[in-house]
Homo-oligomer: A and B are copies of this chain.
Amino acid sequence: MVTMANAQILVVDDEPDILSVLVYHLSREGYRVTTAVNGQGALTTADADRPDLIILDLMLPGMDGYEVLQRLRRAERTNSIPVILLTARREEEERVKGFEVGADDYITKPFSARELTLRVEALLRRAKAEPVSASRRISVGPVELDREGHRVFSEGSEVDLTPLEYRLLEVLLERRGRVQSRRQLLQAVWDTNASIETRTVDMHVARLRTKLGGAAPLIETVRGIGYRFRALDK
């Protein structure tokens, strides 16, 4: 199976054994693999090579995985690259923290080769399928957006949005699962570099949230970074 052939993957781990296992499996699947053994190297390589996916161990000497992820997410060149966190700890707390900082998926050690490739494939597929920009209808979880009719539904019933809220939701849905910085959202929603406070984004996100309703927050806050629409479907 040559699913997402030729995708480039950056693997970050300081333990040689794990690193070599990862490289072996991924290469065997046909991926181009680059490596880094610490946070600084990971950031440099990510910025330079712009890999399609990053597999990041949380336990690193010096700068730990969370911080690496945070920095990746802060930089616009790298903040939309899917990241899989790798950790020995299975605790719920870790997962939550990881997702909050902007991870896309999680693998706990020990892992099977099958699990690894499945998750890698899933993420690459999602990233590739992302350009739904042209589709007439976007449907994510309980939210539906009908472009032709310019209407939005949440759990079946129509939601009345202002033009700006509509655009904001549209952008978030198009880029669901990926953290968007306030500046990115400003650029996408408010078009050109309008001189608008980044805090204004918060406002409209809040309004959107209440209008969309629902118990679980569909639009998640990634502290220090920005916002992200939960990737539920697929």
Contacts and interface: CB of A to CB of B under 8 A. Distances in A.
Interface string A138-182: 000000000011100000000000110000000000000111000
A228 B149 contact: yes
B178 A149 contact: yes
How many copies of the chain does the oligomer comprise? Answer: 2
A179 B149 contact: yes
B148 A179 contact: yes
Select the residue from A150, A163, A225, A228 with max chain B CB neighbours within 10 A. A150
Interface in A174-214: 177-179
Contacts of A177: 148-149
A19 interface: no
A162 B228 contact: no
A28 interface: no
Contacts of A162: 223-224
A231 B228 CA distance: 31
Interface of A: 148-150, 162-163, 177-179, 222-225, 228, 231
